[in-house]
C-alpha cells in the first residue's frame, strides 16, 4: 500500500494545477459578463429614452409639460387613457434608474466594479445577458486581475477545505500499520 501515497501526492498536484486553470478561466469571465451586461443595459436605456422623447414630443405638441400630460391622462376615467399617464411616469422612472446604473458602472474602479455591479444589478437585464452570454478570454488588466483572484480563491478553498478532508479520508482507509508510519 506504500504506492498509494505517491499516487495520491501526484494526483493532488495535478488537481491543484487543474483547479488553478479552472479558477482563472471562470473568474476571468466576470469582466466579460459585466461588459456584455453594460451593452444590454445601454440598449434598454436607449429604448427607454426614445419612448420618453416620444412622450415629450406629444406633450409639446399639446402645449403641455410632460408632467401635465401625464396628470391629464392619469385623471381620465377611461382606464386605457389613465394607464398612459402611469406609463409616462414609469418610463421617466425607468430612464432615471437605468441612467444611474449605467453611470455607476462606468465610473466604478476595477476593484469596486463587482460590488457596484451587484448593487445596480437589474434581474431582467442580467437574465437576458446570461441567455446570450458568449464567454471570452479578456486580455485586459481587469481580466488578469479577476483570473488571479480566481486562482487564489479556488486554491484557498481546495487547500483550506477539500484537501484536508481528502487526506483525513485517505488516512481512514489505510491499514493501522501504515497509518502509524505516516
Cell of 136: 471570452
Angle between helices 4-61 and 66-75 (to 10 degrees): 90
The residues, ordered by sequence, that sit 6+ positions from 37 with a Cβ below 8 Å of its Cβ are: 117, 125, 126, 129
Closest CA to 155 of 12, 1, 4: 12
This prediction has a pTM of 0.72
Long-range contacts for 68-75 (Cβ within 8 Å, ≥24 apart)? none
- Please tell me whether residue 174 adopts helix, strand or coil conformation: coil
CA distance 12 to 23: 16
Q: Compute the chain's Rg from CA coordinates.
A: 28
- Please report the beta strands in the chain, taking only residues with DSSP state E, as ranges in sequence order: none
Burial of 28 (0-12, 13-18, 19+ CB in 10 A): buried
What does each of the 182 residues of the chain score in pLDDT, given as a tens digit?
566 566 666 677 788 788 888 888 888 888 889 999 999 999 999 999 999 999 999 999 999 999 999 999 999 999 999 999 999 999 999 999 999 999 999 999 988 999 999 999 999 999 999 999 988 877 888 888 888 888 888 888 888 887 787 777 766 545 555 545 54
Amino acid at each position: 500500500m506504500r504506492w498509494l501515497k505517491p499516487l495520491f501526492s501526484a494526483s493532488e498536484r495535478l488537481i491543484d494545477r487543474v483547479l488553478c486553470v479552472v479558477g482563472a478561466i471562470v473568474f476571468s469571465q466576470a469582466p466579460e459578463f459585466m461588459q456584455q451586461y453594460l451593452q444590454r443595459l445601454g440598449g434598454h436605456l436607449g429604448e427607454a429614452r426614445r419612448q420618453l422623447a416620444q412622450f415629450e414630443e406629444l406633450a409639446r405638441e399639446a402645449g403641455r409639460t410632460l408632467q401635465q400630460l401625464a396628470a391629464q391622462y392619469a385623471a381620465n376615467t377611461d382606464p386605457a387613457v389613465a394607464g398612459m399617464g402611469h406609463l409616462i411616469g414609469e418610463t421617466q422612472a425607468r430612464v432615471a434608474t437605468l441612467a444611474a446604473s449605467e453611470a455607476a458602472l462606468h465610473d466604478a474602479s476595477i476593484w469596486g466594479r463587482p460590488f457596484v455591479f451587484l448593487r445596480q444589478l437589474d434581474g431582467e437585464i442580467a437574465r437576458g445577458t446570461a441567455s446570450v452570454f458568449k464567454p471570452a478570454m479578456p486580455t485586459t488588466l481587469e481580466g488578469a486581475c479577476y483570473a488571479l483572484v480566481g486562482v487564489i480563491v479556488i486554491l484557498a478553498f481546495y487547500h483550506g477545505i477539500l484537501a484536508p478532508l481528502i487526506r483525513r479520508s485517505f488516512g481512514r482507509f489505510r491499514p493501522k500499520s501504515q497509518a502509524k508510519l505516516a
